[in-house]
């Protein structure tokens, strides 16, 4: 396996994630529109919107709640950062 000079450059996006120290982070903006369950009032993360039912209601009592309202409330439970050196996305709580 050969390694070219571009792979050794820390500013290159091809640098492996393990070798990066993630010293230069950029806070990414939050998305504006989120879904909020009409039953438990929890704001769903964007990645759970493909389920079409509220995972919180289902985990609590097995009820599949399909009624949601669209909201622009920001979920402050985590922040997303991107490393400028390697491009890795970091979720921080």
Residue 32 belongs to a domain = yes
pLDDT tens for the chain, residues 1 to 93: 333 334 334 444 444 556 788 888 888 876 667 788 999 988 887 666 677 888 889 999 998 888 988 887 665 667 788 898 888 888 777
**Statement: the pTM of the whole predicted model exceeds 0.75:** no
* 1-8 long-range Cβ contacts below 8 angstroms, 24+ apart: none
| Conformation bin of residue 22: beta by default, left when phi > 0, alpha when psi is -120 to 50 | left
Cα–Cα distance between 72 and 15 in angstroms, integer?
Answer: 36
φ/ψ (deg, to 5) at 37: -70, 135
Residue numbers of the domain that contains 30: 21-92
Residue 69 belongs to a domain = yes
Structure tokens at 3: 């390694």
* Number of domains into which the chain is organized: 1
Residue 36 belongs to a domain = yes
């Amino acid at each position: 396996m050969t390694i070219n000079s571009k792979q050794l450059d820390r500013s290159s996006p091809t640098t492996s994630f393990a070798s990066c120290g993630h010293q230069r982070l950029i806070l990414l903006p939050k998305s504006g529109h989120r879904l909020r369950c009409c039953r438990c009032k929890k704001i769903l993360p964007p990645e759970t919107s493909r389920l079409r039912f509220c995972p919180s209601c289902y985990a609590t009592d097995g009820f599949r709640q399909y009624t949601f309202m669209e909201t622009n409330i920001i979920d402050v439970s985590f922040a997303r950062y991107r490393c400028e050196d390697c491009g890795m996305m970091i979720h921080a709580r």
